[in-house]
Amino acid sequence: MPTIDRNGVQIYYEVHGSGPVILLSHGYSSTSAMWRGQVAPFSKEHTLVTWDMRGHGQSDYPEDQAQYSEEHTVADMAAILDAVGVREAVIGGLSLGGYMSLAFHLAHPDRTRALLIIDTGPGFKKDEPRNDWNANAERTARKYAEEGLGPLHAATAERRTAHHRNARGLELAARGMLAQRDARVINSLPDIKVPSLVIVGANDINFLVAADYMAKKIPNAEKVVIPGAGHAANIDKPKTFNSAVLEFLRKHSL
């Protein structure tokens, strides 16, 4: 599968099928492999593009902490669309990938046909909860620094099966990509004008309130709660998940 060179950092991506493009981004400490159950159904009428964020999977693991940030991630996504040869796409992702999809829309609304926001939080308006989130991101970074890839064994479904070359990239990504600096993304929700689908697993209790919030704040957003699914709704209940996304795409002629 191909890679793109982002100023010396190789970013791995996969392209499946043909038709309108869907770009899906994985969650923190997962990889593009988490979308395996979506490849066949989504690529029947669409081009499905998945990728590994820097520090994850088959992409590069640069040692410079400055190489890990929201800005770099969004720029990587735009560069992948350029490499595929498309101006715009349906942009979506799970957890961190969903947050980065919102950040991508904020930076490139003209390149976003629609949003798929899956088991995701939109960030924080207030400093205190953001600081708590960032403290947890730092604890996560230290855990990978001290324990290597061991913590993945007790993680949610999309992370347990992820393959990484080492834990150093996850440590740096936690500090540079999982951590958040401001309220730009959450404040941008009312300005989203593209069709938006918010999906959350019924058992993903840490993200149910966030899903409700986004569904209310994003104009005309649609929300689907998937029974029996946890944080990795697409893995826990793939048939229900796939049906919800494909119905949304058909409804909006995407």
Interhelix angle 96-107/70-84, rounded to 10 degrees, is 80
pTM for this model (two decimals): 0.96
The pLDDT score that the predictor gives to residue 151 is 86
Domain 3-251 homologous superfamily, CATH: Alpha/Beta hydrolase fold, catalytic domain (3.40.50.1820)
The pLDDT score that the predictor gives to residue 155 is 75
The pLDDT score that the predictor gives to residue 209 is 97
> Where do we find the tokens 């290597």?
148
In the chain, the largest separation of any two C-alpha atoms, in whole Å, equals 48
DSSP 237: S
Element (H, E) at 169: helix 168-173
Regions of the chain where pLDDT drops below 70: 1
For 150-208, write each residue's pLDDT tens digit: 888 877 788 888 899 999 999 999 999 999 999 999 999 999 999 999 999 999 999 99
Question: Using CA atoms, how far apart are residues 70 and 83, in angstroms rounded to an integer?
Answer: 20
**Across-strand partners of 4?**
11
